[in-house]
Structure 1
């Protein structure tokens, strides 16, 4: 079947043309997609687990687009963390392809947002208490890892996501930057460092991250923190659990799969992470990037292990509904190619302000104070993009 999924030309800076409400943008080291308007939205699932028929629903919508002669044969959007949550995926009216972001290419957003208040959920002390409870559950054998998250409500009427998305793309050009229309005047925006999965032709890649440490402005201290993270038995174990889960989910779909024995350091502007690139060749070309993504989601990096027990613990210990946070964001076309990032380092904006999110992996031996500090550092990525870095102590 013939596909025409994007415009022919490659345009230089599509992030600058992103307009919340009228378009969605997804920028990665491979390139930028700007989706304009909505031709057809992927309908909700009738099942309790919407992931179970997500790939089928997307294929059906792409088939409708083909039958109607619509030139765009790709879906762009976001999928939630919870299996029963509502995904936001559309075939756009127009889909334009551009170059990857480059450092400094977009303007900064500092000092442009009027803030009326910051409200963490839960309060920092309660988050530390939840971590301590999780560690006790782990010691008792209830589960081996759980990812506990925090949210931060920023009261900012009239907030404009566009300059923040541009600033994130400029500040983190190696990340997966997105501004996705989530309906109802809401926008999902962020810059995720973690590739869930990509497929190009028959080549498949995933880049799981687990194990983190905050960066330091002092070069010597920053190098020390990176080296300590690479040596940390706790962080290496946490990372190995995630890599094993990712490889285990991909292996049934791949003719061959390469899994490096050692992690490498991944650097963002605020954090060090342990990362491993898992790459291979898909055995069946009919298995799309979205089908692979649903097989992987959620990884232990955003949920925990075992998955069912970790999900239950998240429902018990977290003080908010994750929604699209720790879901997946990206695109897939009618030929099965696509790119999906883990929805972290993100915010959900609405006309009254926005909610920021950050989480940490809790395992045996986790220190509540250290996990609180890690989530505060992660929240700092978005706070800095909003010009609020000086106020980050309010959430620590």
Structure 2
């Protein structure tokens, strides 16, 4: 048993916040090995036998499904609302400054990677690939993750917030707009996003961008890959499944997104949400299509290991219920250094500069929280 009492972890959906304290145990395993559900259930059963009340697992699953997950069973947890969390996390705030920023890859390198992807479309069967970049940010002082998360919550109140301790004494934190999966009894929901444009302070420009996204063949085509593949992945587990024919548009603080709310009735309440995660991950929204070829292209063109970025973050219980968001609009924090991540879906109609600018708009969600 690991009895670390100091760690705080958090996951939220709307106004429902799951605030966890301490670490009873870390759960080892990877999504692709097929035994993760068994390991989770055994660890939760042991925790219950040790007296933990309705134990849960909370944490993050990496992009590369063969890599180790970052999952913990907290010693205790409670459900709070947003205001309660803000009051708790806003205590002992301290001033800080951003002293440096470094792009990896830089603009020229990222645009070159997009050009290489476009060449692959012309030569073969690759239809979409998601390419990402990082922004290395250094602050002038060590900062508590709760302070940054409180700023993310204040600026982006209606998304999925998360704060997960990692094994290297760091934290994964962010504000994801995208629900990968939610399961309760025999009900399953997925709400993927693909197709993005920035919002504007100018109401006329903002409306123009909304209409552009609503009618953009490039973005609608990109979105259809995602919704259709998730539907195909969930179909074998469901008695009924509804996939919208036309996406809607959802707003975050800085962006418009094309979105499809997919809802199904599972064949059995016993189906575990982790098995469903294994079926849908990685979606074309964070990898591409065909999956294997997109995965190979990412390995070739991205100069860093994504780690937990574009994996999934959330929680589950002994009944196999839970909520998992896509790990985007996020950063990893260690001391006074942050690594921010953002990606863009590349399709044959993409242009390198526009995709670079899209990643910049996505990075702005987190950068705004660093400059409250």
| Paired position in structure 2 for 1:6 | none
Of 69, 76, 89, 1:87 maps to 69
Please give the root-mean-square deviation of Cα atoms over the aligned residues, in Å: 2.2
TM-score by length of 1: 0.88
Shift of 1:30: 5.7
Distance verdict in 2 for CA 1:196–1:182, change over 3 Å:
same
Contact 2:15 2:82 in 1 (8 A): yes
Give structure 2 stretches of 5+ with no counterpart. Answer: none
User: How many residue pairs were aligned?
Assistant: 366
TM-score by length of 2: 0.93
Q: What SS is found at the alignment partner of 1:211?
A: strand
User: Structure 1 CA distance, aligned partners of 2:72 and 2:83?
Assistant: 23
Residue 36 of structure 2 corresponds to residue 28 of structure 1: no
Distance verdict in 2 for CA 1:279–1:363, change over 3 Å:
same
| Paired position in structure 2 for 1:61 | 43
User: Structure 2 CA distance, aligned partners of 1:103 and 1:381?
Assistant: 20
User: Structure 1 CA distance, aligned partners of 2:253 and 2:312?
Assistant: 22
Deviations 1:338-373 (A, max 9, x none): 000000000000024010000000011111010000
User: Structure 1 CA distance, aligned partners of 2:205 and 2:94?
Assistant: 29
User: Structure 2 CA distance, aligned partners of 1:384 and 1:108?
Assistant: 20
User: Structure 1 CA distance, aligned partners of 2:78 and 2:94?
Assistant: 31
Give structure 1 stretches of 5+ with no counterpart. Answer: 1-19, 389-396
User: Structure 2 CA distance, aligned partners of 1:167 and 1:108?
Assistant: 12
Where in structure 2 are the equivalents of 1:328-367 lying within 5 Å? 328-367=312-351
User: Structure 2 CA distance, aligned partners of 1:298 and 1:178?
Assistant: 20
| Paired position in structure 2 for 1:270 | 254
User: Structure 1 CA distance, aligned partners of 2:207 and 2:93?
Assistant: 28
Contact 1:109 1:387 in 2 (8 A): no
Of 37, 59, 63, 2:22 maps to 37
Where in structure 2 are the equivalents of 1:122-161 lying within 5 Å? 122-156=105-139, 157-161=141-145
| Paired position in structure 1 for 2:58 | 76
Deviations 1:109-163 (A, max 9, x none): 9993332311110011110110111011012124111000000101224132211
Q: What SS is found at the alignment partner of 2:34?
A: helix
User: Structure 1 CA distance, aligned partners of 2:143 and 2:29?
Assistant: 29
Where in structure 2 are the equivalents of 1:308-387 lying within 5 Å? 308-387=292-371
Q: What SS is found at the alignment partner of 2:98?
A: coil
Distance verdict in 2 for CA 1:65–1:107, change over 3 Å:
closer
Distance verdict in 2 for CA 1:102–1:229, change over 3 Å:
farther
